[in-house]
Amino acid sequence: MSVHLILKGGQTPDGIADIYIEGGRIASIEYREDSAQPSREEQITRELRDRTHSSEKTIPESEVESGPHGSIPSQSDVREIDCRGKIVLPGFIDPHVHMRDMNLARKESFFSGSCAALAGGVTSFIDMPNSSPAADTAEGLLRKKEAARASLVNYGFYVGVAPGRITALAAILAERHKYNIGVVKIFFAASSANEVLSSDDEIEAVLSICASHNVPCVAHCELQSMIMSPAGLTAADHHRVRPAEAAAAALRQIIPLQRKTGVRLSIAHVSTAAELDLIRRAKREGQAVYCEATPHHLFLNADECKKSGNFAKINPPLRDERDRAAMLEALCDTTVDYIGTDHSPHTLEEKSLDYENAPSGFPGLETGSHHLIDFALQNSLPLGRLSRLLSGNAAELFGLDGRGSLKKNAIADLVIIDPKLIYTVQPDNFYSKAHYSPFSGRTLSGRVVMTIVNGVPLFEEGRMIAADTQTHKGAELFNAETGVYPPPA
């Protein structure tokens, strides 16, 4: 067996390790015994790990040094990367992006968006259905699938649901691997271009179809009937136009329907303390209800709209400081299951319109993970928890069995972080086409210095690796023929 990539001495959630990568997968992990003396808790963890994963030993030195037929491999066959002083984690999974493309390619393309993903350590994403054309028909999904072939990172899709076409959902889900879809998305309120479901009968029908196909459903929870007119207002009023109660009311409608159908249900971009209370109660009662948080609802509040105007306009809105503090508490007490950036780029011309006509959304792929890394470093959040938030929990919920973990035979999607580097948000330097951000000018500790996709380094030291980006393409996450796995039964 020849090893193509060796990551030496990086800090992982389980300790200092050398990671051997061959054929796009993790061939072996060797945990170093010569690192700092472990605590008693770390010793117990290591003993349990060794018992459970006794087969995950390092490749014998003779095999590392020998290529095919026992020959010494050339320098191009093996690359050793010095990770001493750096953090090595599973590549980040972003289950909430809007890559635009097709009729909206002026805002973003799958290629430019995937470059932004690489810069943020994101190796896999799932694209939302409110694209143009919308991903709620077989035709729309196939057109999106064709456009997404330009992506450098792994990708999958949501399928949307329009009123009057609910029965068609079952036929699409029956062939979901053909379309590379693994999740259903429903909207209680309009946000950019999408169809809105409102009645209990419609929503229950969708949830029942999802449950019968063992596909999770993600809901945008704001009641359309409670949203006010934006006429004559400014971005500073956005959190009043789309009030916090509209979000909680939608949860009160959908949570009983989840209990009735048993579907795996995730609440997208939770933003209020009231939503968190409802989610905690559902979790205590054993319901399969999950919580997504965005970096902007964790680290910005509604006051940002007074400073950044439409650049901070997003749905659901940035909330008051009480809600933001509640979100941060939920991140720490594990109520939050995973992070989605809600990367939703628009052109500067569009965002410069008056408040009523300016679209909601801003780019997040290059800033989102860096905010979580900074928070982890500043607050001693365990690497294991950070990794679960940015990849592990999403991999489990959405059925990405080969991704989101550091273990033997896992697909080698990896990110290397230098905790000593400072990342300053400079929108002019974004790989995304959207060169604006309400985070502009913020300095954050820790920076992504390498992103590895399916065993191939594609981003290194702030630049794309051109030779690889010209040939490498990401895998379809929900297409069994690509070598990844369908959602668990």
Three-state secondary structure call for residue 381 = coil
Q: Is 342 a catalytic residue?
A: yes
**Under 8 Å between Cβ of 279 and 291:** yes
Q: Which of 101, 342, 374, 413 is catalytic?
A: 342
| 443-453 and 463-464 beta bridge pairing | unpaired
Q: Which of 158, 256, 269, 160 is nearest to 206 (CA)?
A: 160
Q: In the chain, what is the greatest distance between 2 CA atoms, to the nearest angstrom?
A: 75
* Residue 112, both tokens: 């430019």
Query: Facing residues of 448 across strands?
Result: 417
CB atoms within 10 A of CB 266: 25
Q: Which of 259, 249, 181, 191 is nearest to 213 (CA)?
A: 181
Q: How far is 121 from 118, CA to CA, in rounded Å?
A: 5
Q: Which of 24, 19, 21, 93 is nearest to 473 (CA)?
A: 24
Q: How far is 357 from 350, CA to CA, in rounded Å?
A: 8
CB atoms within 10 A of CB 3: 22
User: How are strands ordered across the β-sheet holding 181-187?
Assistant: 92-97, 122-127, 154-160, 181-187, 217-220, 265-267, 289-293, 338-339
Catalytic residues: 342
